[in-house]
Structure 1
C-alpha cells in the first residue's frame, strides 16, 4: 500500500447509491440488534433495574458517541485530499492518533471514577467503570477505521464493521437472557463489540490498506480538528445516547417511571438517529463532494428526514402505546401524546445531526462544536424547569436542538 491519498472528485451516482444502500442495510441491522438488546433487557429486568442498565448503556453511548468525532475528522481528511497532490513532508497517522486518544480517554475515565462512579452507577460500579474504559479505548480505533473506510469509498468493509460490532453485542445479550446472567451480562453485552475493528483488519486486506493511509498535514493540525469534532460529538452524544445519564443527574432517583421514559425516548428516536449515526461517513462524503453548494446539499437529506419523521409522529401517537406494552410488558405504559412529542423531538435531533455533518465537511469546526454544545446546554437548562418528568423531557429534547441548528446554518451560509 502506498501513501497516495484517494481521489476526492464527485462520486458517480452508482457509487453513491451503492454506498448509501449498503450502509442503510447495515444500519437497519444495527438498529435491529439494538432493539433486541433493549427488548431482552426490558423483559429480563424489572423497570427499576432496567433504568440501572439504561444508565450504563447511555454512558457508553455518550463515550462512544464522542469518539465518533474521530470518524468525522478521519473521513474529512482522507476524503478531501486530491490523489494528484504533491507528496507533503508532513503526514498524519489517524489510526495511531485514534489509539492514543482511546488510551488517554480510558485512563481519564478510570482515574476520575472515584469522584463520580458511585453517583452514576447504582450497582456494579467498579465493573461498569472497567467495561466503560476498555470499551471506549477499543471504540476509538473502531471509529477511526470507519472514517478512513468512508474516505476511500470502502462501503462494504464499512458496513461489515458496523454489523460485526452489533452482532457480537446481541450474541452476548442473548446468552445473558438464556443463562440468566442478569444485569452484569447486559453490561458486558453493551461493550462486547469494541474489538470488532481488529477482527476486520485481520480478515480484510482492503481494511488494512485503508488503515495505512496517511493524509497530509501535521499531527497538531489533525488533533485540533479532532478536538473540535470530539467536543461536538460529545455534546451530541449527551443528547442522543447519554440522555439517561443526563436525566438521572437532573432528576435524582428515576425509579420505574424513569425506566419507562428512558425506554420511550430510546425507541422513538432510534428509527431516525441510528441510521443517521451509521451514515456519518456517507453524509460527510456527500457534503465534501458538494462543498461549493453547502445549503443546497442539505435540502434532500433534510426533506427525507422530515418526511419520515412526520409519518413516525402519527404512528407513535396512534399505535405507540400498544406497541410499547405488547413488546415490553404491561409495566411499560406511556400515552400516545408523549410518544408523538418524543418522536417530534427525534426529528429535531436528526436535523441537527444533518447540519452538523455539513458543518464538519465545510471545515466549520468551531461552529460545529458551538452548535452542539449550545444545544446540549440549552437542553440541560430546560431539564431543570419545575415541570413533571415527561414534560421536562419533551421540552428539553425538542427545543434544545433548535439552538444548534441555527448556529450551523448561520455558519454554512457564510462564504
Structure 2
C-alpha cells in the first residue's frame, strides 16, 4: 500500500457525494416544510416527535455504517490468507443487529411508547420497528460501498433515500393525506437499498464483501461504534433537550427559543455534509493509517477554515438574518452567533477525529471521546451564566474535551508504532 495519503483513492469522489448530500439535505427540509404547512401545528407535532425518534435510533445505527466501512476497506487492503473463512460477513451481522433492535423496540414499547407517542401510538411503534430493521441493511450497504470505494452507487443510495421521502410527501399533500401518511414517509426512504441492489452490479458485488476480523470481533466493534453514535445523537439531536433540562425556571422562554433555533441553524452547514462524508473520511484514514496525522491535516484544515469564515459571517450578518427571516422575536447578538458557530466547528472536528479513531481500530477510545464530550457539554450547561453564555461554553468545551481523548489515543498509537519499528 502506498503511504502517500494525498494520492489516495478518494480523489474524484467529492463532486458525486456533495451533490447527493445537497439533494438529501434539501429533500429533508422540504419534507418538514410540506408536513408543517399541510398538517398544521397539532398534526405536525405528532409527526415531528416520530421523525425525531426515528432520527435518534438510526443515528445510533450509523455505527454500523462506520464499522462496516472500516472493516471492508481494511479487508480489501489486506492480502488474503487461509484464515479468510474465519472473517466476518458484515451483511449477516448487520442484518441480525437490525432484527434484534427491531424486536427490542417492539418488546419494550409498552414501557415508553405512551409517553413518547401520544397519538398513533401502536402504528408508530410498528413503523419504528420496521424502519430500524430496514435501516440496518441500508447502513450496511452504505458502509460496504464506502469501503469498496464504489462512490457512484453510494451517491445514488443517499439520493434515492431522500427523494423517496420527498416524492411521498408531495403525493401525501396532493391526496390530502393525514398524519399517518407522513409517519410512513419517515421510514420508507430506507428501502432505497432495494432499488440500488436491483439496479447496480457494483452494489451487488459490494454487499457480500468480508470484513477484516472475526465475526465476534466485528460484532464487538459495531456495538462499540453504535454506543459512540448514540452519544453523538444525544449531543447533536438532543442538545435542545439538554438546554431546556438545565435551564431552570428563570430562563426567558423567547431567548431559549432563539438560542435553540440558532444552534440548529449554525450546525447544519457543517454537520449535514460531514455526516454524509463519513464513509469518505474513514476510507481515507484506513488507507493513510501508517501516517494518520498526515491524513488528518487536510480534513481538519478544511473544517477549521469553514468554521472560522462561518463564525465571522455569523457575527456580521447573523443577527440581521435571524430577525429578517424568522421574525423580531429571534434576537441574538453577533458575538453569540459567532460562538455558536465555533461550537459547531468544534463538534465537526470531533466528528473528524472520531472517524480517524474508528478507522485505525481504536473503537473504545472513539466511544469514550464521544461520551466524555456529551457529559462535559451537559455539565458545562450548568455553569451560572445566562443561557447564551452557558450554551456557547458547552458547545465549544464538550467537543474539545472529546477531541483531547481522541488525541491521546493517537499519541499512544504513535508511541506503540515507534517502539514496534525500533524492535
Distance in 1 (alpha carbons) for counterparts of 2:39 and 2:294: 47
Distance in 2 (alpha carbons) for counterparts of 1:334 and 1:405: 32
Map Cα deviations across residues 144-199 of structure 1 (whole Å, 9 max, x no partner): 11111111110001111001111112223334455554654444333221111122
| Contact 2:319–2:331 (Cα < 8 Å) also in 1 | yes
Q: Compared with structure 1, are the counterparts of its residues 54 and 308 closer, same or farther at alpha carbon in structure 2 (3 Å cutoff)?
A: farther
Where does residue 112 of structure 1 map in the other structure?
108
Distance in 1 (alpha carbons) for counterparts of 2:51 and 2:376: 23
Distance in 2 (alpha carbons) for counterparts of 1:180 and 1:390: 41
For residue 385 of structure 1, report the CA deviation from its aligned partner. Answer: 5.3
Distance in 1 (alpha carbons) for counterparts of 2:327 and 2:39: 13
2:140 aligned with 1:144, yes or no? yes
Task: Find the partner of 1:33 among 21, 27, 35.
Answer: 27
Where does residue 378 of structure 1 map in the other structure?
376
For residue 233 of structure 1, report the CA deviation from its aligned partner. Answer: 1.2
Where does residue 314 of structure 2 map in the other structure?
316
TM-score (norm. length: structure 2): 0.85
Where does residue 130 of structure 1 map in the other structure?
126
2:200 aligned with 1:204, yes or no? yes
How many residues matched?
408
Where does residue 18 of structure 1 map in the other structure?
12
Where does residue 80 of structure 1 map in the other structure?
74
Structure 1 unaligned residues grouped into runs of 5+: 1-6
Distance in 2 (alpha carbons) for counterparts of 1:383 and 1:183: 35
Where does residue 235 of structure 2 map in the other structure?
239
Deviates more, 1:265-274 or 1:228-237: 265-274
Q: Compared with structure 1, are the counterparts of its residues 249 and 194 closer, same or farther at alpha carbon in structure 2 (3 Å cutoff)?
A: farther
Where does residue 285 of structure 1 map in the other structure?
283
| Contact 1:47–1:256 (Cα < 8 Å) also in 2 | no
Q: Compared with structure 1, are the counterparts of its residues 216 and 359 closer, same or farther at alpha carbon in structure 2 (3 Å cutoff)?
A: closer
| Contact 1:48–1:259 (Cα < 8 Å) also in 2 | no
Deviates more, 1:305-314 or 1:335-344: 335-344
Where does residue 354 of structure 1 map in the other structure?
352
Where does residue 335 of structure 1 map in the other structure?
332
| Contact 1:319–1:336 (Cα < 8 Å) also in 2 | no
Distance in 1 (alpha carbons) for counterparts of 2:384 and 2:121: 30
Where does residue 50 of structure 2 map in the other structure?
56
Deviates more, 1:88-97 or 1:313-322: 313-322
For residue 14 of structure 1, report the CA deviation from its aligned partner. Answer: 8.0
For residue 274 of structure 1, report the CA deviation from its aligned partner. Answer: 1.2
Q: Compared with structure 1, are the counterparts of its residues 120 and 260 closer, same or farther at alpha carbon in structure 2 (3 Å cutoff)?
A: farther
| Contact 2:377–2:395 (Cα < 8 Å) also in 1 | yes
Q: Compared with structure 1, are the counterparts of its residues 334 and 138 closer, same or farther at alpha carbon in structure 2 (3 Å cutoff)?
A: farther
Distance in 1 (alpha carbons) for counterparts of 2:176 and 2:254: 21
For residue 325 of structure 1, report the CA deviation from its aligned partner. Answer: 5.8
Map 1:190-201; keep pairs closer than 5 Å: 190-201=186-197
2:155 aligned with 1:155, yes or no? no
Deviates more, 1:233-242 or 1:43-52: 43-52
Distance in 1 (alpha carbons) for counterparts of 2:45 and 2:315: 24
For residue 378 of structure 1, report the CA deviation from its aligned partner. Answer: 1.8
Map Cα deviations across residues 187-235 of structure 1 (whole Å, 9 max, x no partner): 4333221111122111111101101112343211111111111111111
For residue 123 of structure 1, report the CA deviation from its aligned partner. Answer: 4.2
Where does residue 221 of structure 1 map in the other structure?
217
Distance in 2 (alpha carbons) for counterparts of 1:164 and 1:236: 25
Distance in 2 (alpha carbons) for counterparts of 1:69 and 1:218: 18
Structure 2 unaligned residues grouped into runs of 5+: 415-423
TM-score (norm. length: structure 1): 0.87
Task: Find the partner of 1:188 among 184, 187, 196.
Answer: 184
Q: Compared with structure 1, are the counterparts of its residues 324 and 370 closer, same or farther at alpha carbon in structure 2 (3 Å cutoff)?
A: same
Distance in 2 (alpha carbons) for counterparts of 1:121 and 1:341: 35
Map Cα deviations across residues 34-68 of structure 1 (whole Å, 9 max, x no partner): 22233334555667876664443332222112111
Largest Rg, 1 or 2: 2
